[in-house]
A and B are shown apart, each in its own frame.
Chain A
Amino acid sequence: MLQLRKLTKTYKTGDQALKAIDLDVPKGQVLALIGPSGAGKSTMIRCINRLVEPTSGEALLDGVDLTKLGAGALRRARREMGMIFQEYALVERLTVMENVLSGRLGYVGFWRSFLRRYPQSDTDEAFRLLDRVGLLHMADKRADELSGGQRQRVGICRALIQNPKLLLVDEPTASLDPKTSRQIMRLITELCRERDLAAIINIHDVALAQMFVPRVVGLRFGEIVYDGLPTGLTPDKLTEIYGEEDWEATIEKVEDEDETEAAE
C-alpha cells in the first residue's frame, strides 16, 4: 500500500538525513521505526506527508506518487494520512472537540470550519472516537487542561477522524511516563487492528516497540540496517543500529515487564 522507492532527503546544510530508502508497508501492518536520535526517523515520516520536502525518490500511496503532487492534490492526499505527534501538537487554546474536528478540515469548506458547524456525521464520529479513548466527558475542555496521556488520546482521535489509510506516528510516547506510554502504544495498535490501518511508529524505546509491533525497521545514519521481527533484535543487531553498548539488560527487561504486565 505504501511504497518508498529510493526516498532521499538532503538538507541545505548538506546533511544526508535519508539515503535512498526502500520500504514496503502492506495494508494493515503496524511497523516500528527505531534508531538513535538523528538517524532520520522523523524526517522519513515527514517526507511521506511532505511536511518536509524529499529531495528525490518516490513515495507511493496506493500507486500515487506523493512526491509529485501539486498543492491541491497534496491536500487531498494528506487526508489519507493521519499523523500523531511527539508533543501531542494539539492546538492548546482550542477545545478538545475543536481539536478532534480539525482532523476533518481537509473535507469541509472554510465557512463550515470557521463557524464550527461540522456535518452531524463528523460530530457523531468525534463523539464516538472520544468515547472509544475514554474522553467523552472532556469534549468541551480546553486542550491545555488535559494531562499528557489525555492529550495524546485526543491527538489519536484527531488522526483517526480523517479516516486515513495510513497513520504516521512520531515518537508518541516520548513525553509520557512508562505506564501511560504502554497504554498509548496499546491503544494505537488496537485501533489499527480494529480499522485495518497501516502505521509507521517512530519510537526510540526498543523494549516498548518489541512489546507491541510485529515488524521493526532499524534506521542508522539515514539507512535501513534492520528489517524483521522484533524477536530478531539481538545484541549484535542493536549494536549495529545504536552503536556499542551492553544490550542484555534491555532485552531481559522486556521479558520481565511482560510478566509483571500479565500479573496485573
Chain B
Amino acid sequence: MSDVTLDNMVGHRWRKPAFIKNVALRWTLILGFVAYLIAAFMTIEVDWGRVYEGLDRGWAFVLAFTSPDFTSRWSDIWSGLLESIVMTVAASVVGIIISIPIGLGAARNVAPLPVYVICRGIVAISRALQEIIVAILLVAIFGFGPLAGFLTLSFATIGFLSKLLAEDIEAMDRVQAEAIRASGARWVQWINYGVQPQVMPRLVGLSMYRIDINFRESAILGLVGAGGIGATLNTAFDRYEYDTAAAILLIIIGIVMALEYLSGIIRARVQ
C-alpha cells in the first residue's frame, strides 16, 4: 500500500467504510428488500366491509372495560384465579429446580462435551415446542384441568431458564473461578464458590421474570383446556359476557404489574 502517505490522504474526504463493499451488491440487496416488503404488504387482504361490521363488536368490548363485572361470576373468577396461581407457583418452582442442573450442563465452560450436547438438546426441544402445542398434547394425554397446564409451564420454564442461565455461566469471569480451582476445590465447591456468586443475580432476575411469564401463559393455556383463569376467560367470551371478561383481564393486568414491581425490588436487592 504505497499510496497510504500523508500527502495522498490530506484534503480527501473521509467516510466510514461500507459494511458491504461491492456497490452493485449493496444496492441490489437494499432494493430487493424494499420490493419484497411492498409485495408482502400487498398480499395481506383487508375486507373493509367486514372491518366496518366488526367495529361495533370491538367497541362493545372496549366499553365493557368501563363497567367491568366482578360480581356476577365472582366464584368462577376466584376459583380460576386460584388455579392459575397454583399452576404458576408449582410450575415455576419445579421448572427452576430442574433448570439449574440443565443450565450447568449446557454451559460449555463448566460441563464436559457429552453432557453439554445432551443438555443443549433438552433446551432445544423445550424451546422448539411452543406452549400452546405442548398444552394441546398434554391435555390430550392427561385430560382437561390444571395438571396439563402445570406440566406445560414446567416444561417451558426449563427451556427458557436453562438456556439463559447457561449463557450467563459462559459469560462469567474466568479468573474468579480459576482462583477457586487453584485452591484445590472439588467440582461442586468450585461451582458453589466460583460460579454461583457470579450468576446468582441473573438467576434470580430470570426466575422472577419467568414467574411473570408463567402467570400470563396460564391465562392463555385455559383457552385450550389446560385450566386456570384462561378457562374462565374463555367461557366468558363464549357467552359474550364482555363485562366479566373485562373484569378478568383487569385482574390479570393488575397481578402482572404487581409481579413486575416486586421483581424490580428483588432484583435491586440481590445485585
Binding site for B on A (CB under 8 A): 49, 51, 75-79, 81-83, 85, 87, 89-94, 98, 102-107, 110, 113-114, 155, 158, 162
In the bound complex, do residue A83 and residue B182 qualify as a contact, i.e. CB atoms below 8 Å apart? yes
List B145-168 residues whose CB lies under 8 Å from chain A: none
In the bound complex, do residue B188 and residue A85 qualify as a contact, i.e. CB atoms below 8 Å apart? no
Cα A192 to Cα B184 with chains together (Å)? 21
| Contact A91:B189 (CB < 8 A) given known A76-B184, A105-B184 | no
Binds A, one of B115-123, B173-181, B257-265: B173-181
In the bound complex, do residue B176 and residue A105 qualify as a contact, i.e. CB atoms below 8 Å apart? no
Cα A179 to Cα B194 with chains together (Å)? 30
Sample of 26 A–B contacts (CB below 8 Å)? A49-B182, A51-B181, A51-B182, A75-B186, A78-B182, A79-B183, A82-B183, A83-B182, A89-B175, A89-B176, A89-B179, A90-B176, A91-B180, A91-B198, A92-B176, A93-B197, A102-B180, A102-B183, A103-B183, A105-B180, A105-B193, A106-B183, A110-B189, A110-B192, A113-B193, A162-B184
| Contact A79:B180 (CB < 8 A) given known A85-B175, A94-B197, A105-B189 | no
In the bound complex, do residue A51 and residue B180 qualify as a contact, i.e. CB atoms below 8 Å apart? no
What A residues does B184 contact at CB under 8 A?
75-79, 105-107, 162
Chain B residue nearest to A94 in the complex (CB): B197
Where chain B touches its partner, the secondary structure class is: helix
4 further contact pairs, Cβ within 8 A, besides A77-B184, A78-B184, A114-B189: A51-B178, A83-B179, A91-B176, A102-B185
Looking at the assembled complex, report how far the CB atom of B217 sits from the nearest CB atom of chain A, in whole angstroms. Answer: 32
What B residues does A107 contact at CB under 8 A?
184
Is B200 on the interface with A (CB-CB < 8 A)? yes
In the bound complex, do residue A162 and residue B183 qualify as a contact, i.e. CB atoms below 8 Å apart? yes
7 closest Cβ pairs, A-B complex: A106-B184, A105-B185, A78-B184, A89-B179, A93-B197, A79-B184, A83-B182
Chain B residue nearest to A77 in the complex (CB): B184
Binding site for A on B (CB under 8 A): 173, 175-176, 178-186, 188-190, 192-194, 197-198, 200-201
Looking at the assembled complex, report how far the CB atom of A174 sits from the nearest CB atom of chain B, in whole angstroms. Answer: 13
Cα A114 to Cα B176 with chains together (Å)? 18
Cα A82 to Cα B182 with chains together (Å)? 7
Contact of A78 among B175, B183, B189 (CB under 8 A): B183
Cα A93 to Cα B197 with chains together (Å)? 6
Cα A49 to Cα B181 with chains together (Å)? 10
Chain B residue nearest to A108 in the complex (CB): B189
What A residues does B197 contact at CB under 8 A?
91-94
Chain B residue nearest to A155 in the complex (CB): B179
Cα A75 to Cα B180 with chains together (Å)? 11
Cα A83 to Cα B188 with chains together (Å)? 20
In the bound complex, do residue A91 and residue B179 qualify as a contact, i.e. CB atoms below 8 Å apart? yes
What B residues does A158 contact at CB under 8 A?
179, 183
Chain A residue nearest to B174 in the complex (CB): A89
What A residues does B175 contact at CB under 8 A?
85, 87, 89
Q: Choose among B173, B175, B176, B192 the residue with the greatest number of A CB atoms under 10 Å from its CB.
A: B176
Cα A76 to Cα B180 with chains together (Å)? 14
Cα A113 to Cα B194 with chains together (Å)? 12
Looking at the assembled complex, report how far the CB atom of A177 sits from the nearest CB atom of chain B, in whole angstroms. Answer: 21
What A residues does B178 contact at CB under 8 A?
51, 85, 89
Cα A156 to Cα B166 with chains together (Å)? 31
What B residues does A49 contact at CB under 8 A?
182
What A residues does B198 contact at CB under 8 A?
91-93
Chain B residue nearest to A87 in the complex (CB): B175
Looking at the assembled complex, report how far the CB atom of A138 sits from the nearest CB atom of chain B, in whole angstroms. Answer: 18
What B residues does A106 contact at CB under 8 A?
183-185
Looking at the assembled complex, report how far the CB atom of A105 sits from the nearest CB atom of chain B, in whole angstroms. Answer: 4
Looking at the assembled complex, report how far the CB atom of A160 sits from the nearest CB atom of chain B, in whole angstroms. Answer: 11
Cα A103 to Cα B194 with chains together (Å)? 12
What A residues does B181 contact at CB under 8 A?
51, 78
| Contact A114:B192 (CB < 8 A) given known A85-B175, A91-B197, A92-B197 | yes
Looking at the assembled complex, report how far the CB atom of A255 sits from the nearest CB atom of chain B, in whole angstroms. Answer: 36
What B residues does A113 contact at CB under 8 A?
185, 189, 192-193
Looking at the assembled complex, report how far the CB atom of B184 sits from the nearest CB atom of chain A, in whole angstroms. Answer: 3
What A residues does B185 contact at CB under 8 A?
75, 102, 105-106, 113
What B residues does A94 contact at CB under 8 A?
193, 197
What A residues does B180 contact at CB under 8 A?
91, 102, 105
Cα A110 to Cα B182 with chains together (Å)? 16
Contact of A105 among B173, B186, B200, B201 (CB under 8 A): B186
In the bound complex, do residue A90 and residue B182 qualify as a contact, i.e. CB atoms below 8 Å apart? no
In the bound complex, do residue B176 and residue A102 qualify as a contact, i.e. CB atoms below 8 Å apart? no
